[in-house]
Amino acid sequence: MAIKRSSKIDSSFSSSSMTDLVFLLLVFFILATTLINPNNAVRLTLPSSSSQEGDPSVIALSVVGNVRSESGYTYTINRNESYDTVDQVAIALKSHYAKFEGRAEEDMPYISLRCDEKVTVDALVEIIDLTREEKYKMVLATKEK
C-alpha cells in the first residue's frame, strides 16, 4: 500500500497576531503618556524655618498662587512690591540690581526664592530661567511658618 506524503511547505506568514500586539502597545503608551501630569513628576518639600532675620543684600522673591491674577500667581519682592506677571518681575529685578552696579560679582546680592504649595513646577522653572538669563545668583529658601 502506497501512502502519499505531501512535501509541500506552506510559506505564508500570518501577521494578524502581530498587528494585535502592536495595536495594544500603541493604546497602552497613548494612555500612559496622557495620564502623566508633569506637576506631579517633581515634588519639592522644603523644610520650614521660624527665623525672621534677613540679610539686607538679599532680594526676597516669593511666589504665591492667586486665582485673580492674570498669570495665576502673585510675585512679591522684599515683602512690599507685588507683581502679576514674570515680565514685571524681570523689570523690577533689573532695577534692584541697577543699585548694585559697579560692585564685584561676589558682592552682588542674590535672590532668595520662596514658593507656595500651589505653585507649579512650570512657574518655578520660569523664574529660574529668568534669573539664569540675567545671570543672577539665586537660592531656594525654606517655607515660612
Residues 6+ apart with CB under 8 A from 140: 44, 46, 113, 115
Domains in the chain: boundaries: 48-144
Q: Are 122 and 65 in contact (CB under 8 A)?
A: no
Question: What pLDDT is stored for residue 27 in this prediction?
Answer: 94
What are the cell numbers at 14?
A: 500570518
Question: What pLDDT is stored for residue 54 in this prediction?
Answer: 55
Helix intervals (H) in 36-102: 38-41, 86-98
In order along its 145 residues, the chain shows pLDDT tens digits of 667 776 777 777 777 888 999 999 999 998 888 777 666 556 666 666 665 555 556 888 888 887 777 778 888 888 788 888 888 888 888 888 888 777 777 777 888 888 888 888 888 888 888 888 877 888 887 666 5
Q: Which CATH architecture has domain 48-144?
A: 2-Layer Sandwich (3.30)
What are the cell numbers at 42?
A: 517633581
